[in-house]
Every structure is written in structure tokens, then in C-alpha cells.
Structure 1
């Protein structure tokens, strides 16, 4: 099937939006963009470990800190200030060393609600948090596709690898398809160990207190799991992403120019672990998925591809009483691709500051120094040659911040 015929078929299906054109943009033919949304707010402080001020970090996280560089399962040193979670040693670190990955610390939105749903919506819509009105019919990737489609990339084709068309690709500016490549994998609660322990106390004076204790524990775990499931908004799990990433790459390489996928399971209020454990396993799965995507794209297409990994916000710098972290503010974005600029690839980019108690936002979170609309606007300028007016069509009211990523 020729690409033109494929797009006509997609446009005729129920999940395609109506077409419209806006001001032209000198888009680069062959350029690919994939946005990966980590729903649930991942703990960026475990991903990008602030080794430059380690005393404050280790005092703030006595149970969940990543060990120091050089220690067993220690952070992988990236520069004098930052280390990478060891679960990414075989996947993302090689990309970073080849200057095909960069991290934007202190990134995010100025939204202060700390609500998964409010902030996810605001980011997908591409609007300022104080915007008086939100048009849920128009997401920023749909508007970007519309801008590009009016220029040399006349047959621009966006796709969401999701069950339903997400907010970010809704709109009348461009035709958009959605195609779920994996089912949702949810974490079950394994009661085997609880049953074994309870049996040890059967027919003793402690039998009832032990049973009641496990019942309360199970109720709490179910409540936390329900919140995580809700925050994930039916997104696939990191393991699901790992399994379908190569299929996504084949579709992006041969047929689609803009892609979006969401990955859930990041709301780690309880028992997130450190170098090993729940969060480490999620990082390992996500990293293998990203590396598999890059490999499947092939060298030529990967040089023209940019992958951006975002999340609605970060998590608290200090651990909570359940050896987890709570809703925070600033986070860390990932930018990957075979064509990253020499001054950006293999670096932590954007405005930064030392992490101390005095510099934490509201004495608890990373501050936002690199606002997401400004950062993405600057990236799109670089990738596609957009003018300031065209960036304004995608992110109304935002001023592009050029981090020279590509």
C-alpha cells in the first residue's frame, strides 16, 4: 500500500480527526518525533542522581537513595554533578555515551495543583496553567502536525500508540490515528507471603492481630494501587512498552512522522525501592524499550529521529514514611536521537542550580527552571525550522527556549 493510500484509509476510519491546514512551516522531510509520556509522575531524583551535593541527598533519602558512584549498584557517573540510575547501564547509558541522549533537569510546568489529571491535561493541551479556558478539542501535537502539514511535509502523519486518541493529538489541524499495540498490564497483589506468615500464628493468641494487620495492609495497598491505576489513565506498563517499542519503530520509520505513547505505573508513594526494587524494574523495562526503539529505527532513520520523554511533574526530594515519594513539582525530561547536537548529546542541559534545602521549591520539590512549552518550542524550531509565529500556533503565549538540542 502506498503511503498516500494508507493515509486516505486512516482518514476514513472512526479514530481519525478532520483535516485542516494552517500557516506553512519549512519542515524537514524524513524528520521523526516520538513523545513518551510517563503518567503518574516518575521519581526523577532516582533517575538522575544529584551526586554533586550527595550529603543533602543521602540525608533526605535514608532508605531509597541510589548508592554513591563506585559503590555496589551505585549511580553511574555522568559528570561532576549527576549520576544515572544503574538499571539503565545497558540501555540508556550507551546512548548517552554516544552523545545520542541528553537530560533536561529542572523541567516541567508551572502548574501547582500537583494533580495528575489537571497537570496531564494542561501539558497535552500545551496551555499555560493560568489559562482561562481549555479547549479539549485541540492538543499541541495536533497543532504541530497542522503547522507542518501546511508546508513541505504536506502528508504529515501523526499516530498515537494508545487505546483512544489522547488529548495531545485531538484537533482539526491534522489527521491523527491511534493504534494500541499492547494491552494494559496491571500489577496484582500477591498474598502468598501473607498467607504463609498468618499460618505460622494460627491457633495462637496472635492469630487475630496478625490477620487484622494484614487486612489493613491489603486495604492500604489496594487504595494506593487504585490511585496508581487512575494516574496512569489506562496507559500501558513499562514492560508493555518494552514489548511493543520495536513495532512502534517500524511504523514510525516507514509510515508516520509524529508519534505519541503513554506509559503508566510511576506513582510510587509506597516501597519504590532504590538501586533495586519496583522503580528500578520500571526503569530497566523503559530503558530497554527506548534502546530497542533506537535500534529498530536503524542508523539512517535514527539520525533524523528525536524521542522526548516527559512526565506531568516530579516527586518530593525527601522520601516519605512509606519509603516512597509524594507528588512534587519539577522533573527531568529525556531527549534522545541519533542527530543530537554535539554540545547537547551526552550532557545535562538547560538552566540548573545546586540542590540544597534553600533551593528546593516550597522546601520539598525540584523547582521548574526550564518550562516545558518553552523547551519544546525551542526544540521544534530546531527540528523543523519553525518561525516564532509558528511556535505561537503550537504553544500560544510561550517564548521558545533554544537549548540547541539538535
Structure 2
């Protein structure tokens, strides 16, 4: 009895992510078209921490603690007036290479500041909180049988709910599951003095930091909805790239990662998370190779941004407009997308949040059109009632 392709995919992944590659690539060359990978950051990324408007005099006044590193050591992002936090050096280098663009004020129409409602509105892609299908499923239906879709998640995310079901390829669980006691000490001794030992110590430190944040309320576990921890994203990204490179029919992909709900002690937590994110995007570029990277567009987004003003515990609270990143070999990068009106109170949503100047539906539809040459009619079926702001990527 022949094995089902989806079962084979799951079995191959379960046998160890680092061994993925040609051994299980299935038949079918696919057409020489683009590819879209959506990376969804659950928890509400503070985009102003990652890419900061250092030219705005209000920034240091509103964020006297959270801006110290970027003002002292930030990486300028061209003539945009923004600089990347030192933890985002990898992303800044992609920007400088012309392979990454950003929008500081992107998001959905949701103003509830609820993780779950904002995530649902994003994944449904209709501007509503309920519906029978997600935008990725509708996009897969429009692409038809010539192209396949894959979700690097433990289950089918809301974005892929609907008639067109993706391949499911879980790469990581949401927990670290590091050993403890004598076994952990034995592992430390075995890897002492080796590069793997340094990586092990980093994982232990990250686990401890995240566990502390969950315990004291600095971070909400439920906001991640079971997504993999961002600290493991670089390894996940390498495995995803191998899967995509050896399976050219896979043209639509989705992955979510957690660890961005930073209500307190944000400097350390978010710097670690952003470093992992940047390392992962660079790993995608390296593992895909030059040819596949030129076909690929990577869109990074979160359900909302954070408050412009830092709170009293060294963190930020749920906001509105947030950061969009668009990377890829064919992306016209090195620039800021959409607009930014500054941090003056008159330009803020309810006097506290960045506004949404670029709707995610427009960002996604423009990127899909560039990737797959979809018609406006098809895009209207994927994103009904989208504002129709064209994003040149």
C-alpha cells in the first residue's frame, strides 16, 4: 500500500529536522513562479523597539529606558530616520543589501487590543472576527492544483482553515523540554569547550528568562496559541528552507512563532527574540540559495504593535499599528513602505498607539500579486473589502 504524501512528510519530520532534504522530496517540478512565506509573530511585537524612529525627538522622551541601546548602537536604516536595534543587525544588513523593506505602521482594523481577536482578524483576512475560511486557504484555492501549500505548524492554523488544506509539517513544539538534574549536567560536560556547548548555554539561559517572564506575568503564555518558541526559529528556518528548496511545488507557506508579548523587562526578552528572528531570516536566505531566494518573498507580521510610551515595568502594552517586514531576493528593499507621521500625540491612535497606515490585506494582496500574478478579482476573493492600497514590492 503506497504511503500518503502528507503522512510521509510528517514521518520524515518526526525522524529529526536536521536530516531533511532530497531524501523525501516528492515528484513535480512546478512552474518557475514566486513563493510567499508568511511568518506570524504571536504576542504583539513592539516594532518601535526593533526599528526605531531615532530622528524623532519624542522617541527618547516617551521611551527613556527602551531607547538607550538603539540611540547608542543602532544601525541606521538609510535616510528613513529609523535605526535598527543592535539585536536586529542581521535584518539591518538585509535592508542595506536592498533585500528588506519595512513599514512601521501596518496592521489590521482591529482596535480591541485583544491578542485573540486581533489574531483572528488577521488570519481570516476579511476584516471580520468569524468566518468559514482563512486567507491562506483561499489563496491556495486561487492558485489551484499547480501549486501546493504548507504550514510549518503543529496543527492547521486559522489562516489555513477552509476548503484548500495545506501539508502540515510541525518542526518544533512550543516548549523547550530541556532535561534537568544530572542529565543536564552530563550534557554540559559533554559539550564543554565546543560551539555546541555555547548554544546549549544560550538555550538554558533563554528558557530561564522565558520561564521567569511567564511566572511573573511579563509574558502571557496563551498569547502564543501553541506556536513554537522564537528562540528556536533559526533552526526551524533552516529546515523550512530545505523543505521548500527541494519541493518546488510548495509556493505558499506559513509559520508562527511565539515570544513577543513583552509587558515587562522588555529589553532582554525582546532583544533575544529579535536576534533569533533575524538569524532565522538570514538562515532562510542561505539555505534556499540564490536562485530560490530570488523567487521568495518573506512577509513578517504580528497581530498588533505596542504602546508608544513605555510602561513602569520596563515593557510596553497592547497597541495598534505595528511593524511589517518584507524580505526576499526580488524585493525592492532598502526603503520604508507606506508612511510615518511621527510620534506627536496628534498623530497617534487615541493618543497612545501608532496608527495603521498600511492594512495587512493590502500588503498581502500586493505581495501575492507580485508572487503569483493573481488578478484583482482573485485577490478580492482572498481579501474581500480590502482597502486596495497598492504596495510596490
Calculate the TM-score normalised by the size of structure 1: 0.78
* 1:310 maps to 2:304: no
Q: Distance in 1 between matches of 2:322 and 2:98?
A: 21
Match 2:170 to one of 153, 177, 180: 180
- Contact 1:139/1:167 (<8 A) preserved: yes
Q: Distance in 2 between matches of 1:229 and 1:219?
A: 12
Q: Distance in 1 between matches of 2:212 and 2:52?
A: 33
1:146 paired residue number: 141
2:205 paired residue number: none
2:230 paired residue number: 238
Q: Distance in 1 between matches of 2:227 and 2:93?
A: 27
Match 1:400 to one of 384, 388, 391: 388
After the TM superposition, list the runs of 4 or more consecutive aligned residues in structure 1 that deviate by more than 6 angstroms.
Answer: 11-14
* 1:51 maps to 2:47: no
Query: Which of structures 1 and 2 has the bigger CA Rg?
Result: 1
- In the TM superposition, what is the alpha-carbon distance from 1:244 to its structure 2 partner? 1.5
**Residues 269, 156 of structure 1: CA spacing in aligned structure 2 closer, same or farther, 3 A cutoff?**
same
1:97 paired residue number: 96
Q: Distance in 2 between matches of 1:80 and 1:394?
A: 32
Q: Distance in 2 between matches of 1:155 and 1:12?
A: 20
- Contact 1:184/1:240 (<8 A) preserved: no
Where do 1:6-405 residues align within 5 Å?
Answer: 9-10=5-6, 29-53=32-56, 55-67=57-69, 69=71, 71=72, 73-89=73-89, 91-128=90-127, 131=128, 134-135=130-131, 137-149=132-144, 154-172=145-163, 174-185=164-175, 222=215, 224=217, 228-255=220-247, 256-273=250-267, 277-341=268-332, 345-405=333-393
Q: Distance in 2 between matches of 1:169 and 1:76?
A: 37
- In the TM superposition, what is the alpha-carbon distance from 1:121 to its structure 2 partner? 0.8
Q: Distance in 2 between matches of 1:125 and 1:232?
A: 17
Q: Distance in 1 between matches of 2:133 and 2:146?
A: 20
Q: Distance in 1 between matches of 2:244 and 2:312?
A: 43
Q: Distance in 2 between matches of 1:80 and 1:254?
A: 37
- Contact 2:293/2:328 (<8 A) preserved: yes
**Residues 138, 80 of structure 1: CA spacing in aligned structure 2 closer, same or farther, 3 A cutoff?**
closer
Give the number of the structure whose residues are more often helix, by fraction. 2
Task: Please list the CA deviations of residues 44-87 of structure 1 after superposition, one character each: whole Å capped at 9, or x if unmatched.
Answer: 0011101121x211011111114455x3x334343241111111
**Residues 278, 358 of structure 1: CA spacing in aligned structure 2 closer, same or farther, 3 A cutoff?**
same
Task: Please list the CA deviations of residues 92-117 of structure 1 after superposition, one character each: whole Å capped at 9, or x if unmatched.
Answer: 22211111111012100110110000
Q: Distance in 2 between matches of 1:142 and 1:323?
A: 39
Task: Please list the CA deviations of residues 250-290 of structure 1 after superposition, one character each: whole Å capped at 9, or x if unmatched.
Answer: 111222211111110100001101xxx22111111111011
Q: Distance in 2 between matches of 1:239 and 1:220?
A: 14
Note the residue ranges of structure 1 that are not aligned, 5 or more in a row. 15-26, 189-217
- Contact 1:160/1:260 (<8 A) preserved: yes
Calculate the TM-score normalised by the size of structure 2: 0.81
- Contact 2:48/2:104 (<8 A) preserved: no
Q: Distance in 1 between matches of 2:81 and 2:308?
A: 16
- Contact 1:380/1:386 (<8 A) preserved: yes
Q: Distance in 1 between matches of 2:97 and 2:213?
A: 44
Over the aligned positions, Cα root-mean-square deviation in angstroms equals: 2.5
Q: Distance in 1 between matches of 2:166 and 2:70?
A: 45
**Residues 317, 28 of structure 1: CA spacing in aligned structure 2 closer, same or farther, 3 A cutoff?**
farther
- Contact 1:316/1:364 (<8 A) preserved: yes
Task: Please list the CA deviations of residues 134-186 of structure 1 after superposition, one character each: whole Å capped at 9, or x if unmatched.
Answer: 22x4110110011011xxxx3311111111110111111x2312111112235
- Contact 2:70/2:84 (<8 A) preserved: no
